[in-house]
Amino acid sequence: MIKTIESAHNDTVKLAHKLQKKKTRRERGLFVAEGFDLLEAAVRVEEYPLLLLVREDVVGRIPAELRQAAQEDELDIGVCSEEVLARASGLGGAADVVAVHELVEWSLGDLAVDEGIVVYLHGVGDPGNVGTIVRGVVAFGAAGVACSPGTADPYGPKALRAGMGAQFLTRVVVDVSAEDMAAKLRAGSSRGEAVPTVIVADPRGEETASSLALVRGGVVLVLGSERGGLPDLGAGARRVAIAQARFDSLNVAMAATVLLYELSRGRLGKGAGALLA
């Protein structure tokens, strides 16, 4: 159904506003994605929203799939004035569309650490960095992301904008402690599964990033905050540094991009250049 919403006190508007907060997202199992870029990214992979709010002057840009769903009463689309939509959005008056999506609850067991590349974010507090890293995970064909309790919510509005829809394309697990990750690696080893290589991004590491192109099999790539410590996931972790002209000049998202590129160089096929362009 497509209907006009005239009041900021409308239930859908109030819900979208509340979902700007992490606590509400976790309680309701929902999140908001703002902007047509994110909406179109979701539609391309058939991750349709549960509810949609759109500014009245851009109704014509709603994807045809969602218009059809609304006509068949499978989706409610609310058409709002700029002022009403601003109440639902974290972008205020700049918002053109706000979509409410179901939050997929992936678990640590869903991440293929024995064969793919899994990124573990430990205490990465900036949501822009987290979203950019998720985007890199998708670009370089990694298996997914695990986030520690101290890491910014990858489904928060700023992380989603930085990810440009990448969260719809990969498995993202939240609230994974270092102890949980270490236990998963031990459990896999005890079952006779292939033991992944643990690579810790460390500006004081003895290995260089260029050596990662030779790494095969499962990988857990550990990245931390620029000032925080890095977790110990067990014996045999390789500490890798990125050669830089000036010491420690890359932030965590830039470091993740470089390391994912190096890890993926020997894994991506000949068509990878077109995919990553």
**Whole-angstrom distance, CA of residue 205 vs CA of residue 251:** 16
Distance between CA atoms of 86 and 43, rounded to whole angstroms? 23
Residue 269: its pLDDT value, please?
59
Q: Which residues contact 66 (CB under 8 A, 6 or more apart)?
A: 39, 43, 48, 49, 52, 75, 77
Question: What is the pLDDT, as a whole number, of residue 277?
Answer: 30
Q: Domain 108-276: what homologous superfamily?
A: SPOUT methyltransferase, trefoil knot domain (3.40.1280.10)
Per-residue model confidence (pLDDT) at position 206:
85
User: Letter for the amino acid at 36?
Assistant: F
Q: Is 75 within 8 Å of 66 (Cβ atoms)?
A: yes
- Integer Cα distance of 6 and 190 in angstroms: 60
Which pLDDT score is estimated for 272? 42
Residue 91 Cα to chain centre, angstroms: 19
Residue 68 is predicted with a pLDDT of 93
Architecture of domain 2-102: 2-Layer Sandwich (3.30)
Residues 58, 184 contacting (CB under 8 angstroms): no
Q: What is the pTM of this model?
A: 0.90
Instruction: Write down the domain spans for the chain.
Output: 2-102, 108-276
Q: What is the mean pLDDT of each run of 10 residues along the chain (277 residues)?
A: 90 95 95 95 94 93 93 93 91 86 94 91 95 97 95 95 95 95 86 86 86 89 80 83 78 94 78 37
